[in-house]
Amino acid sequence: MNIIASKSSLSGNITVPGSKSHTIRALLLATIAEGTSHIKNPLPSADCLSTAAAVPLIGSEIDLNLTTEGEPGTEWVVNGAGSNLHLPSDVVNVGDSGSLLYFLTPVAACFEGTSVFTGDASIRKRPVNHVVDALNQLGAKCFVTRPNVNGCPLVITGSIKKGGKVVTAGEISSQYISGLMFAGILTENPIKIELTNPKETPYLTMTQKWLEKVGVQCSVSSDFKHIEVTPNPSFKGFDVTIPSDWEGVAFPLIAALVSDSKITIENVDSSGTQGDDAIVSIIQSLGADVVWNKEKCTLTVAGGKFSKNGTGRLSTENCPDGELHVNISGFPDAVCALSAVACFTEGTVYIEDAAVCRRKETDRLKVLKIELSKLGAEVEEKEDSLIIHGHSPLLKDGSKNPAFKLHGAVCESYDDHRMAMSLASIGLGLPEDEKIIIKNAECCAVSFPHFYDVMNTINANYRKEV
């Protein structure tokens, strides 16, 4: 499906679905637990449904409370495997979910026998040698099936059941570190993880809080270089309401800022457990009119003529040295949204310490350079950063800025949900008579099901190409 995005003015209220990161963690821990868990407001995205299909292979039973139309309900019930948790009973196909792959492989490695993990074409390009090395350090015999290819299919034999110490590079991904933390619930002795260069640390904090929530002892040093999990395989089921997904909040947020819009995003997570909420303070430093009411859990966003200053002009002029530098290592999934809004910002934005962004659904630094350049943006790609020399559509006096050169184009999504949604957001701020056509735009279902329909309720006017 190709989607057309063009100049629009948003208005009204919107609710973003539950967090993918929280939903997948809840499903996995509910599977390990003894008894029944109730998960409310789960995200019914492709990744989360892949997880719901995979965890029964290790012993749980899941009721998605499907509607008469076959859609997942708003409360999922998990009967945990508890003491009957076992080796996966079939090959585990994780679909396109890196989270599921990296979370579940260490858990599967806690059992004697052989486990096989694979996924779609995208996931088979995701690196796994770091997982192989970590599990082998702990006593497993883990390998990939294709010589000289760093990707699934991945085979695990042997077991990490005894626990122990593992030394691994924290900059590759936080997800398999979380997987090792989950595995620490099931081992005979604690798992001690030594990280040489921790990145994406808010997600490690999220995992720690989930473990502590269910009664598992987990210590994490202040520099995140030392993590220890004490086994506790007998915790009980739980009831939880999944908070909204900040990674999803980012797209209506930036869409409103680059257009003449005023919207309120409801049910915003104010718990501080999602690192992506840093985007609010970042865009406020550019002069964005964003009000976060943490008591009401709402974000009110005004862009363009609806902003307090009547222009909504974004600029780096009040940043140190007149430049915005963002270290994105703690919340790399925000790279697409921040790059999009940088294209509408007067000044230079440096998105730094971003090498992990190359190991997501696609090499996001590379493809952002390609696609934003198609639209007329001036982008530099470095080894671990993007530099965007942006321009506001308006000068300080509110007149048109002749340096603003963004225009329409036919763009690729690369089957990357965040690329698709960032391009769709940019389209709303283009000049009249310009449009972006986003190819294979349905991939947004990975994290934000029905994104275009939901955005159309606040007048985004996205339409399918016919």
List residues with catalytic annotation: 333
Q: What are phi and psi of 244, to 5 degrees?
A: -65, 160
**CB-based contact 29:278 (threshold 8 Å):** no
CB neighbour list of residue 296: distance below 8 Å, 6 or more residues apart? none
Name the token pair of 72. 């997942």
DSSP 8-state assignment for residue 222: T
Task: Identify residue 188 by its one-letter amino acid code.
Answer: E
CB atoms within 10 A of CB 121: 8
Altogether, the residues listed in the chain come to a count of 466
Which is nearest to 133 in space by CA: 117, 98, 114, 109? Answer: 109
Q: How far apart (Å, rounded) are the C-alpha atoms in residues 373 and 411? A: 10
Pairing of strands 289-293, 298-303: antiparallel
* DSSP strand pairing (191-195 vs 164-168): parallel
Q: Cβ contacts of residue 116 below 8 Å, gap of 6+?
A: 88, 91, 92, 153, 154, 155, 156
**Nearest to 206, CA basis, from 292, 271, 268:** 271
CB 182 within 8 A of CB 170: no
- What is d(CA 64, CA 391) in angstroms, rounded to the nearest whole number? 46
CA–CA separation, 460 and 439 (whole Å): 18
CB 193 within 8 A of CB 227: yes
Distance CA 392, CA 257 (A): 11
CA 338 to CA 346: how far, in whole Å? 14
Question: Tokens 């994406």 appear where?
Answer: 200
